[in-house]
Amino acid sequence: MATHEEISASLQSFYEGYQKNNKLKLMNRDWNRIIIIRASDIDSQHTLTLQNGELSVTRGAPDQNADLVVTSDSETLADLFYGDITPTEPYMNGTLVIQGSENDILRLDFISLMIWGE
């Protein structure tokens, strides 16, 4: 079981990967979304906010409704945002549950692919 701190660190790693990729920022400039990341086995919640191509990570829930809600166990979330596993495998075996529109889910997968590669 990963800790809340580990998930925060993995999201920080994800954030840094995103910041290094200017092309990704440009591609997401019109994709403004609020994404909740929550662990199912520990009390841990984070919010990813994409606004005009800029990404920010905050602890806790947002003060408005989200576009996507990503739920999984803490281990999977930490591995996922460090890029050690692809989202597809836990998604296909049901460990990772995402609520939101199919296009948004696909976009999130694309972002992960562009940051971490295959």
Partner 1 sequence: MNLKLKKVLTMRTIVATSAGLTLSSSTFVAAVQVAGFLAGDAAWLAILTGGLLCTTAALCFGELNGMTPSAAGIRLYFSRAYNDRISLIVSMLYMVVVMGVIGAESYVLARVLNEVWPSVPALVWILAMFSIVTVLNVLGIKIAGGFQNVLTYGLVLSMLAFAFIALAKVNFQLTSPFASGGSIGLVNAVALGVFLFVGFEWVTPLAEEVTHHRMVSKGMLLAIGILSVTYALFTIAMTATTPRETLAGSPIPHLIFARSILSDAGVTWMVAITLAASITTFNAGLISVSRFVYSSAREHVLPPLLSKISMRFFTPWTAILAIFLIGLAISITVLITHQYLVMVNIAAAMESIIYALAGLAVIRLRGKMPEADRPFRIPGGYIIPGICTLVFTGLALAVFASFPIVLLYIALGLLICTWYVNVVVPELKRRYQIQKAAAKPPRRLMAQKKSKSD
9: left (phi over 0), alpha (psi -120 to 50) or beta: alpha
Distance CA 15, CA 75 (A): 18
Is the Cβ–Cβ distance between 102 and 81 less than 8 Å? Answer: no
Rounded to a whole number of angstroms, the minimum distance from the CB of residue 18 to partner 1 is: 14
Rounded to a whole number of angstroms, the minimum distance from the CB of residue 58 to partner 1 is: 13
Contacts of 62 (CB under 8 A, 6+ apart): 34, 36, 47, 49
Residues that bind partner 1 (CB under 8 A): 6, 9-10, 13, 23, 27, 34, 36, 45, 61-69, 78-79, 82-84, 86, 88-89, 91-94, 97-103, 105-107, 109-110, 113, 117-118
Distance CA 112, CA 57 (A): 15
Pick 1 or 92: Cβ nearer partner 1: 92
Rounded to a whole number of angstroms, the minimum distance from the CB of residue 1 to partner 1 is: 13
Rounded to a whole number of angstroms, the minimum distance from the CB of residue 84 to partner 1 is: 5
Pick 54 or 97: Cβ nearer partner 1: 97
